[in-house]
């Protein structure tokens, strides 16, 4: 089942900078990069702004493809 609104896929380059993503944003990794799944407390999941109860923390070097429903805007 896929969402009916258009989305956007962006590459994130992992090296010195790493990311935390909610589990629905992950598409694929390459290189020596990998991720670990972490559970968050109910407070962080509801009010922390990082998605649901499960988040992915990246490590290593490579490229991560992430997706979102709608457009993605870089904040910093």
Q: How far apart are CA 14 and CA 31, in angstroms?
A: 9
Cα dihedral sign for 42, 22, 71, 6? negative
pLDDT band at 55 (very low <50, low <70, confident <90, very high): confident
pLDDT in tens, 26-44: 888 898 888 888 877 676 6
pLDDT of 49 strictly over 60: no
Query: Where are the chain's structural domains?
Result: 7-69
- In angstroms, what CA-CA distances link 54 with 8, 29, 42? 21, 18, 10
The stretches of the chain forming alpha helices (DSSP H) are 42-47
């Amino acid at each position: 089942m896929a969402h009916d609104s258009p989305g956007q896929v962006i590459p994130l380059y992992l090296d010195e900078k790493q990311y935390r993503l909610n589990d629905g944003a992950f598409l694929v990794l390459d290189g020596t990069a990998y991720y670990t799944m972490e559970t968050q407390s109910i407070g962080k999941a509801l009010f922390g702004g990082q998605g649901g109860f499960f988040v992915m923390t990246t490590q290593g070097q490579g490229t991560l493809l992430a997706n979102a429903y709608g457009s993605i805007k870089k904040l910093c």
